[in-house]
Structures are given as structure tokens and as C-alpha cells.
Structure 1
Amino acid sequence: MKYVATDKAPAAFGPYAQAVNVNGFIYTSGQIPVTTDGLLIEGTIEEQTHQVFANLKAILEEANSSLEKVVKATVFLTDMDNFVAVNDIYAEHFGTHTPARSCVQVGRLPKDAQIEIEVIALAGE
């Protein structure tokens, strides 16, 4: 197992890694809309979702992977009424690549974020 860490994504808030590389797969921790300075993007669900993807892309890049190598995504929303808006941005970032996905509504997320996404991706060659 190899830990993945980059200063191009927010540092972990607790005793966990940004991601780990195990047997050719990258497992990211859930990413919320926090900047590298640790500040929550308090804007719209669209703004928050774009920040989450920026964090995921930075972590995957550090692991020599990318969104195109994601095999599974899990999306956590505090309000399922945001599903359509999030889905549109999700599709924008993934393009024609369509990994398996789960999406669930949760009661609350860290820092009162509206969205959190974690992914599993193939590691780079």
C-alpha cells in the first residue's frame, strides 16, 4: 500500500490519507468543496461540485491516474433536490466515460458541505 498526498488538494482534516494506492487501484477519501487553504466554498451546489472535482483531479493526477480511469464513484448529497444540477456537472467532468456510481442523500457532511464524492480509479502505468 502506498499513500497518495498532494498540496494541490486540501490536506486531510483527520487521521486519514487523501488517497491510497493498493494493488493497482487508487481509493480516494471523500472530497468536499474545500480549497487547498482549508476553506469551504460556500457558494452554490454547482460551485461546490466543481471544487470537489478539482480536488479529485489533483489527487488522481498525483497518483498518475485521472477521471478517465475511475471505475466507481460515490456521491453524497445533503439534499437530493440538487441531484440534477450535480448530475450535469458530473457528466461535464467525466464526458463520455461513465463509471459505476452510487448517489445517496445524507443528513450532514463535514464542514456542512452540500456534497462529497469519493472514487476508485485504476492506477497509472
Structure 2
Amino acid sequence: MMSKPSKEFINPTGLIAPGPALYSHVAKVVSGTIVYISGQVPSDASGKIIGEGDFEAQVEQVFANLKIAVEAAGGAMADIVKLNYFLSPEVDPADVPKLRPIRDRYLNVAAPPASTFVAVSRLMRPGWLIEIEAVAAIDG
């Protein structure tokens, strides 16, 4: 007997199509443990900003930090069901697409998490260009 998947990613008709592997409108958790991950920023364990002024380097550090966080909870990046992106006004909108190839190396692009992407007036620390928080659903 096949077990029921613990997560379903759904893009219902009647909502704008998110495009291939961009995000899912709905992430339904059927079973497992829910883990909330605080907004991760482009700093290393010592608090040093990584990639000051370099959007791609900061995105890389943020996803590396998300990976550390979800693995500390016993999960994997594929367990992330929701991402919330917060973008600093210092980021040129033309640079935003550079985020996707980095993100795609970390996430399951066949079943991308539900996502929200907002531009904010500022992030807490000067020099941070992006912050990302996550929710994961870990099987077991």
C-alpha cells in the first residue's frame, strides 16, 4: 500500500499561473512536524555581513543559513513549504532575477514552496539587502 504524501503543492485553476518552478499558490501539509524558521539574513555565525553590497552573495548566504536552520530541526530544504522574502530598497529591481538560479540550487523546483516577496522600506541592519523566513513540514 502506498503511503499518502505528507505535503501537497497546488496551483488551482482560477488563480494566476505562477510559471514553471516559481512558487506554488498552496502548500498543504497533510502530516509531519511544522517548523518555523526566523528570517535569515546575509550574516555568518559571527554576525559579519557576507557580500556587503553584493546581492547575489547575500542571497547565497541567506539560503545557506536557511539550510543550516532546517537541517538543525531534522529536515531538508525540500521540506520547506513557505518562504517569505523581504527585499531592501537598495536592491536594483533588475538584479532581482539573479535570485532564482541560487534559490533553484537549494529548493525542490518540481514542487516549489508557497512564497511571498515584498519590498520593504528597510531591513533591521544597514547593509542587509535581503531577509528570508521559512516554514518547513518535516516528515515523521
Give the shorter-chain TM-score range: 0.7 to 0.9
Unaligned runs of 5+ in 2: 1-31
Distance 2:92 2:83 in 1: 17
Q: Quick one: percent identity of the two aligned structures?
A: 35
* RMSD across aligned positions (CA): 1.6
Q: Give the length in aligned residue pairs.
A: 103
Q: CA deviation at 1:93?
A: 1.7
1:117 corresponds in structure 2 to 132
8 Å Cα contact 1:34-1:40 kept in structure 2: yes
Q: Describe the SS at the equivalent of 2:116.
A: strand
Q: Describe the SS at the equivalent of 1:61.
A: helix
Residues 16-95 of structure 1 aligned to structure 2 (within 5 Å): 24-41=33-50, 42-78=52-88, 79=91, 81=93, 82-95=95-108
Q: Describe the SS at the equivalent of 2:43.
A: coil
Q: Radius of gyration: which is bigger?
A: 2
Structure ranking higher in helix proportion: 1
Q: Describe the SS at the equivalent of 2:40.
A: coil
Q: CA deviation at 1:66?
A: 1.4
2:19 corresponds in structure 1 to none
Q: Which runs of 4+ in 1 moved over 4 A?
A: none
2:112 corresponds in structure 1 to 98
8 Å Cα contact 1:75-1:103 kept in structure 2: yes
Unaligned runs of 5+ in 1: 1-22
TM-score normalised to structure 1 length = 0.75
Q: Describe the SS at the equivalent of 1:110.
A: coil
Q: CA deviation at 1:87?
A: 2.3
Distance 1:48 1:29 in 2: 17
Is the deviation greater in 91-100 or in 112-121?
A: 91-100
TM-score normalised to structure 2 length = 0.68
Q: CA deviation at 1:124?
A: 4.5
Q: Describe the SS at the equivalent of 2:82.
A: strand
